Chains A and B, each alone.
Chain A
Amino acid sequence: MRKVKLVLECGTTFEGKSFGYEKSVTGEVVFYTAMTGYPESLTDPSYTGQILVSTYPMIGNYGVPSDRKENGLHRHFESDKIHITALVVDNYSFGYSHWNAQTSLADWMKSQQIPGIYGIDTRALTKILREKGSMLGKIEFEDEPIEMVDPNLMNLVAKASTNSVETYGEGDKTVVLVDCGVKNNIIRCLIKRGVKVVRVPWDYDFNTLDYDGLFLTNGPGDPTMCDITVGYIRKAISRDKPIMGICLGNQLLGLAAGCKTYKLKYGHRSHNQPVLLARTNRCFITSQNHGYAIDPQSIPEDWETLFYNVNDNTNEGIRHKTKPFFSTQFHPEASSGPVDTEFLFDDFISNIKVPKVR
C-alpha cells in the first residue's frame, strides 16, 4: 500500500492510510464536529477547496445512498458532486450497513477522485487547528509531491456556482436564487412551500428578472471575492422585494448593507451551534459551516443583529429594521444537522405572499 501523510502548513505531519482515491491534493484544513451526515457534508459546495477533518472517529458506517433525483435535484446529496478536496478520519468503517446505502463511502470517493485518509488522531489534529487556526495543508502520497496552495485566493464561488439558469418547482410566486454554491436542501425547502425557484449563477444580474423574492445562498470562501454579486444585491436592497440569505448569503447581504466581514480563527462547522434570537430568550441549535463572519460592530443604522452565537458572540444573522430583508449565518435548511430553524423559510415565504409593512 502506498504511504500517505497529511502535512500541515505549521510543519506537523500525520501519517495515515488511504481509503479513497490515491492522489496528492492541497487545500485549507478545517475540522467539523458533526456526528452524522457525511454524504450531505461532502457534497456541500461550501466545502470547496477544503480538506475536511472529522472529529467523530468512525465514518462511513451507513455507506452512501443512491444518486436518485427528485424534482431535478439529488434526493440524498446537496449538490451534483463531492466538493471537499479530501477527507481525514480516524477510523474508516470498511463495513457499512443501511437500507438505502448503494455504495461504500470509499468507492464513492474513488469514483469522484477524492482522496481520503484514516488512522489519524483527528482530536490531536483538531486541537492544532483550534489553537493555530485553520491552515493550509496537503495530503501527499509517496512519490507524488505537491505544493501547498491557498484556495481562498481563488474565487471559490465561481467554482461552486452553476453556469446556467434553471427553474424548479411551481407556484404563483417566483424566488430568484443566487447560486453561490447552493445546497440542494435550500431549493427543496423553497419548492416545498409552493414557490417557483429560478436558480441563477453567482454573477448573473438578477435585477433584470421579474421576481417576488430574492434568495442568497451559502457558498465557499471569502465573501469579498464576490464583488459582482454584492453590487447586484446593493441594487436589490434599494427596492422592497423580500430577501433571505443563508451563510455566505448572510455575509453578502451584510457587505451590500455596508457591513464588514472577517475570517474566523477556525470557523464553525458543526451541528450544535447555539444561536440566540436577539432581544429574546429563544435559543436555537443550528447547523453551521463557515469560516467568515460579519463584524457586528460594522452593522449600519438601518440594520440590526437578528441572531448571535451564544458561545462566542459572533454574528449569526442580520435584518433590515423596516424592510423584509433578513439573513442567517447558520443553515435553517440543515441537511445535515438539526432542523429547528426551518421555520425561517416560512417567514420568508410569508413576506413574499403577504407583504408586510412594518
Chain B
Amino acid sequence: MLNTNIKKVIVLGSGALKIGEAGEFDYSGSQALKALKEEGVYTILINPNIATIQTSEEIADKIYFLPVTAYFVEKVIQKEKPDGILLAFGGQTALNCGVDLFRQGILEKYNLKVVGTPVQSIINTEDREIFSGILHEIDVLTPRSIACTSIEQAREAANTLGYPLIIRAAYTLGGLGSGFCSNETELNKLADNAFSYSGQILVEESIKGWKEVEYEVVRDQFDNCITVCNMENFDPLGIHTGESIVVAPSQTLSNDEYHKLRALSIKIIRKIGVIGECNVQFALDPNSEDYRVIEVNARLSRSSALASKATGYPLAFVAAKLGLGYGLHELKNSVTKETTACFEPALDYCVVKIPRWDLGKFVGVSKNLGSSMKSVGEIMAIGRNFEEAIQKGLRMIGIGMHGFVGNRGDMEIIDIDEELVNPTDRRIFAIAEAFHKGYSVDKIWEITRIDKWFLMRLQNIYLLRSQLIGFDTLENLPADLLQDAKKLGFSDFQIARIVVKSSVSDMNVESLKVRSFRKKHGILPFVKQIDTLAGEYPAQTNYLYLTYNGSEHDVEFQHDSQSIIVLGSGAYRIGSSVEFDWCSVNAVNTIRKEGFRAIMINYNPETVSTDYDNCDRLYFDELSLERVLDICDLEDPKGTVLSMGGQIPNNLAMKLHAMNVPILGTTAEKIDNAEDRNKFSAMLDKLEVDQPRWSQLTTIEEIYKFVDEVGFPVLIRPSYVLSGAAMNVVSNRDQLEHFLALAAHVSKEHPVVVSEFIENAKEIEVDAVAKNGEIVAYALSEHVEFAGVHSGDATIVFPPQKLYVETIRRIKKISKKIAKALEITGPFNIQYLAKDNDIKVIECNLRASRSFPFVSKVLKTNLIEIATKAMLDVPFEKPDKSLFELDYVGVKAPQFSFHRLLNADPVLGVDMASTGEVGCIGENFYEALLKSMLSVGYRIPKKTILISSGPVRGKIELLASARMLQERGFTIYSTGGTHHFFQENGVETEKVYWPDEEDMSPNTLDLIKQRKIEMVINIPKDHTKRELSNGYRIRRNAIDFNIPLITNARVASAFIYAICKMEMDDISIKSWDEYK
C-alpha cells in the first residue's frame, strides 16, 4: 500500500541535545531514515547535530548541517524540491518548525506532503484549549481548570472544583506564583500572591498524588490501532515524567484499569487523526478508576524511544512506514521476522527507567524535582523482577551508588521526611534510609504516595540486606541466601560491603572474592532474549539481558574467538553524550565489516548503539566490572574495545586486564599511565614536554606555599566537594580562602590538586589515531575561547584558522612523542595550551574524545573506523589528506539548557555545563560560526544590544565589535564601566544601570523584561559580590526572557564580526557532500 508519489523527502532532526530533547531523537530519526531507505525513498536530513548517527553518510542520502528553522528549511526545500516532509522524528524542535512552515504557508507553496500525522492534528494537541475541547467532544476527561480574574471568582471556582487545588498565575515563567492549596485560607493567600504576578489566574483541580501512566499508541491509515507499551511512573503525579522513575509494563493496574486507559488512548489517537505514533499520558486515581488525560504528544518522544527499547518494537521505524501508506498488518515484526507488526508486545520481564541528573554542575539551581524537567539523561534496566531491575538501574545511573542498599554513608540524608515530602534526585535513597530508621511501608506511603507495591518491593531489598548483615564472612554465608540476594539484584560489591563490612579492606578485592565464591556454588546469571512475544513464537533475536531469575540461557555461545565486545557509554550526562554513541556504533560497524561479530554492551535507551539491528549481539546490561566479566566468561571474546564509550569503559581497563580479559588497542598499563596524574607527569618530564605546574596537596599550608611559587590565578580541583562546582579558578587569596572554606575539604584522604592557570592562552585539541605508537591520522582543532572554558563548552574550529605554523609543528611533534611513549594503538586525544608558541600539555586521554565525530565529519575521514582497524590489527589505508587542504571550515558550538534550570547561573567555567552541541560547515570561519550559533538558538540582532564587558580584557576585546555595531546603526546599551571605556575610545553607547541601582533608569532588567534588547553580552568579572550578583541577574533574566546571551568576550566579538559582515541571505545552503 506504499504511496508511490513520495520519492524524495526532507526529514527534520532535533538539533543539539538539550534537557528535554536528547539522544532519543537520534535513535528515532535514524530508524525513520532506515525505513525510508528500505522503501527506496531519497532522504534529505536537516540536522546541525554533527555528532549523531543519523548525520552519517550511510543513513541519509543528503545531509544539511543547518538550523532546524523555517527559514533554513524553506531554503533547502527551494533547492532540493522534495515531495514530502517528516516532522515527527525530531522532537519538539522539528514539530515547532513544521507548524511554522505550515502557518507561513511554505508547505502549501511548495506542495509538500506531510508524511505521517497532519500538521493540523499536531496543532490540535499542542494548544491546550483546543486540545481539551476536542477531548471533551469524545467525552474524554482532562483536568478541570477555571480562569479567574478576581479573588471572588477564584473562591467560586474552588467551590465548583473542590479542594485540593492548584493555583497558577497565567503567562508567567517557571511556575512563578503557582502552588497547591487544600482550603480557603490557603487559597486566599496563594491567589493573592498569584495576582501579584498576573491579572489572570487559573484555578485547577489537583490530581497530585495520582498514578501517572503512559501509553504508546500507533495508528495506520486504515484506522488500525495498537498500543505498543504502557508504562507506570514510580513517582506519582507532581513530578514530570522525564524526572520520574518509570516502570514498564504497569505493575499496579488491574486489567480493567489497564484496558480502560488503553481503549481511551485509541479513542484519542483516532479523534486526533494521527498516522504513525503518539504518546498519551494519564493521571489515574489511586482509589478508583477515575482518570484525566494530561498530555498527548503527536510525535515520537522520549517515552516512545524508551518503549521501543523496553519492548523491542521499533516504533519510529514502523511510524515512518505507516506514513508512507502501509497498514500495520502489512509490516513484519522486526524481531521475529515472521509475525506481523500489528500486535502488542508481551513482556516477560520488567524494565525500569531512571533519570540521570547533573544538578551539582550548576550553581544556584534547586535540586527539588517537580513539573519541569532537569535530568540530562536516563538509563533502562531489565530484570525478571522489579528489585533486580531497580538495583541494576541505580548502579547504571553512575552516581557512585551500588544499588538500593549497600551504599556508603556519603549520601547522608539528614532530614528524611523533608526529602520524602519534597523530593530531590536522592529520594529513592531517602526511602532506603527511612527503612533503616524503622519507617513502615504505610508511613512512607503516607508521605510520598508512591504506590505501596513499589515500596514493598523496595522493602524486600532492605529485608534481604538485613539478613545478609547477620553474616560476617563469606564462608558462613549460605548459598541459598546468596542466590536470593542475586535474584533481587544485589551486586557482588554490595554483598561484599554488607557482609565483610570492613572499612579497611579494598572492596574491589572483596567483591572479586564474592564472585569466585558464588561461581564455586554455581550461582551464575542467565542470558535471556527480548523477543516481543514472551516466547510464544521462535525469534532469532540478538537483544539480550542477564538475570539471576532463570534456569537456562536463551542463546548459545560460540567460543570461536571471532567476537569483539564493545563497551558503550552508559547514561548521557554532562560531558558524555551522543558523540560516544557515534564512536561506539562506528566501531561496531567496522568490526562487522571486518568479518568479526560485534557484541555491544550498553544500557542507555536513548542511543542508536542499543538498537539491536546494529550489532550481532546486544547486551542491554550494566557496564560494571562484574557484568562485563560475566559476559566475557560466556562469550569468550577475541577482544574488548574500551576506548569508544568515554570514561566508563576506560576506567575498567586495569580491572579487566587484571582478570585476564583481552583488551584491544593500547594496553591497560599505558591507559593507566595516562590516567594517573603522577605517572603521566613523570612521563612528560622524561619526554621533556612542558605542562602547567601542579601539585597534589593535603594541607591548607601546602596550598598557600604552592600558590606563592606559581602565582595566581590557579586552578583548584578538590577530590571531595562540599558544595558548588567541583573545580574552580581562583585569582586572589580572598577567593582561594573563600573557596577552600566553602567548597572543598582538604585532608590526606581528600587531597586537592592545584595547578598553575595560564591566562590568555589558546587551547588546542588533537584527536588522533595511532598504531603501535605511530600516529596514522590526526585532526588538530582550536578553541575560540581562551583556556579556562571547559573543552566541552568551548566553541571549536576545525581546521584551525588562527594558529602559528610553528605552534602546529610543535604540537605535532609532542603528540608523536606521547603516542610513542604510551605505545598507543587506537584513538586518543590530547589537549594543549599555547601561548606565544609555548606549548603545554593539559590532558591526554587514550580513548575517543567528544570531538571525534566532529573532526571526522568535517575532515570526511572516519577516525573511528581507522582506529578500530588499527586495534583489530587489520590493514587500513592511511589517510593522505592534510588538514591544510580543506577549503571550508567546521565550527562546533555548545548548546546550553539553562532555560530549563531555574535559577542556574548561565556562565561558563572550568567545569562543563553544556548539554549538547552542533557542528556546522561554512566557506569560512565566520559563516560556519554563524550557522552553528544560529543552530543552538541564537538570533541575529537587528537594532539593539546590551554590552556589559567585564574585565579590561573583555572591554578591549569588544571595543572593535562595538565600533562595528555603531557603524551599522545599532543602539548599544552598556553598563557603567563599559559605557565609560567605550566613550573614551570614541564609541557612543547608552548608559544603563545595574539591576541593584533600582532607582536609576533605564535599568538593565527593565530593558530585558520589556524585551527592548535583542541580545545580551555579559562578560562575568570575578570580583566583588555586588558585581557577581548584578551580573548574575542580568544573565539569568536574559535566559528567562529568552534573549540570546553570550558570556565570553572572544565568542561575542567573533559573533558580532560575523553578523556585521554577513546577512542571512549570504549564508550558503550547501549539503555536506557539496563541501569538497
Binding site for B on A (CB under 8 A): 14, 31, 33-37, 39-40, 55-58, 61-62, 65, 90-91, 93-100, 120-124, 126-127, 130, 270-274, 276, 281-285, 310-311, 334-340
Contact = CB atoms under 8 A, between A and B. Distances in A.
B126 interface: no
B729 to A, nearest CB: 52
Contact of B551 (A93, A124, A273, A284): A124
Given A33-B536, A124-B552, A130-B535, A310 B340 contact: yes
A58 B814 CA distance: 59
A33 B348 CA distance: 8
Chief secondary structure at chain A's binding surface: loop
B249 A35 contact: yes
Contacts of B287: 99
B98 interface: no
B342 A283 contact: yes
Interface in B516-549: 526, 528, 533-538, 549
A70 to B, nearest CB: 13
B259 A99 contact: no
Nearest to B1: A281
Nearest to A287: B259
B254 A98 contact: yes
B222 A282 contact: yes
28 contacts: A14-B551, A33-B346, A36-B249, A36-B254, A39-B255, A55-B346, A57-B385, A58-B385, A91-B549, A95-B453, A95-B460, A97-B252, A97-B456, A120-B551, A123-B554, A127-B554, A130-B538, A272-B343, A272-B344, A272-B345, A282-B224, A283-B329, A285-B342, A285-B344, A335-B255, A336-B255, A338-B259, A338-B344
Contacts of B456: 94-95, 97
B286 interface: yes
A317 B262 CA distance: 24
B347 A35 contact: yes
A334 B344 CA distance: 15
Nearest to A96: B453
B1055 to A, nearest CB: 54
Given A35-B347, A36-B258, A126-B536, A90 B549 contact: yes
Contact of B386 (A31, A58, A310): A58
Given A58-B386, A272-B345, A37 B255 contact: yes
A339 B538 CA distance: 27
Interface residues of B, number: 60
B224 A283 contact: yes
Given A31-B535, A95-B459, A99-B287, 18 more contacts: A35-B347, A37-B258, A58-B350, A61-B251, A91-B549, A95-B452, A121-B550, A124-B551, A130-B535, A270-B536, A271-B344, A281-B1, A283-B327, A284-B224, A311-B340, A311-B343, A337-B255, A337-B259
A35 B453 contact: no
A271 B348 CA distance: 13
Contact of B329 (A56, A100, A276): A276
Given A272-B345, A273-B343, A311 B534 contact: no
B328 A283 contact: yes
A187 to B, nearest CB: 17
A121 B552 contact: yes
Given A55-B346, A56-B348, A95-B457, A339 B534 contact: no
Contacts of B551: 14, 120-121, 124
B384 A90 contact: yes
B384 A274 contact: no
B308 to A, nearest CB: 16
A33 B533 contact: yes
Interface string B330-353: 000000001110111111111000
B226 interface: yes
Interface of B: 1, 222-226, 249-255, 258-259, 262-263, 266, 286-288, 327-329, 338-340, 342-350, 384-386, 441, 451-453, 456-457, 459-460, 526, 528, 533-538, 549-552, 554
Query: What 5 pairs across the A-B complex have the smallest Cβ distances?
Result: A95-B456, A37-B255, A33-B346, A55-B534, A97-B453
B534 A33 contact: yes
Contacts of B460: 95
A335 B45 CA distance: 46
A272 B343 CA distance: 6
Given A61-B453, A121-B551, A283-B329, A311 B537 contact: yes
Contacts of B258: 35-37
A349 to B, nearest CB: 20
A153 B1013 CA distance: 86
A274 B345 CA distance: 11
A282 B221 CA distance: 10
Contact of B549 (A57, A271, A272): A57
A36 B441 CA distance: 24
A340 B255 contact: no
Chief secondary structure at chain B's binding surface: loop
A284 B386 CA distance: 31
A274 B259 contact: no
Given A33-B533, A91-B385, A97-B451, A62 B253 contact: yes
A62 B535 contact: no
A283 B218 CA distance: 13
Contacts of A311: 338-340, 343, 537
A310 B329 contact: yes
A282 B535 CA distance: 26
B385 A281 contact: no
Contacts of A276: 329
Q: Which of A36, A62, A122 has the most CB of B within 10 A?
A: A36
A335 B347 CA distance: 19
A281 B266 contact: no
Given A34-B346, A97-B451, A311-B343, A339 B224 contact: no
B346 A272 contact: yes
B305 to A, nearest CB: 21
A96 B249 CA distance: 16
Nearest to B329: A283
B159 to A, nearest CB: 27
B255 A124 contact: no
Given A35-B347, A126-B536, A338-B262, A281 B222 contact: yes
A350 to B, nearest CB: 21
A97 B340 contact: no
Q: Which of A57, A121, A130, A281 has the most CB of B within 10 A?
A: A57
A338 B287 CA distance: 22
Contacts of A272: 343-346, 533
A45 B339 CA distance: 29
Given A97-B453, A122-B348, A311-B537, A36 B342 contact: no
A69 B232 CA distance: 30
Contacts of B535: 31, 33, 55, 123, 126-127, 130
Contact of A121 (B225, B226, B343, B549): B549
A83 B653 CA distance: 57
B534 A123 contact: yes
Given A36-B253, A96-B453, A98-B254, A274 B348 contact: no
Contacts of A34: 346
B952 to A, nearest CB: 65
A123 B528 contact: yes
A218 B552 CA distance: 36
A111 to B, nearest CB: 20
B766 to A, nearest CB: 50
A274 B343 contact: yes
Nearest to A266: B536
Nearest to B459: A95
Given A97-B451, A130-B536, A62 B254 contact: yes
A214 B47 CA distance: 62
A334 B550 CA distance: 31
Contacts of B266: 340
Nearest to A127: B535
A58 B251 contact: yes
Nearest to B248: A35
Contacts of B222: 281-283
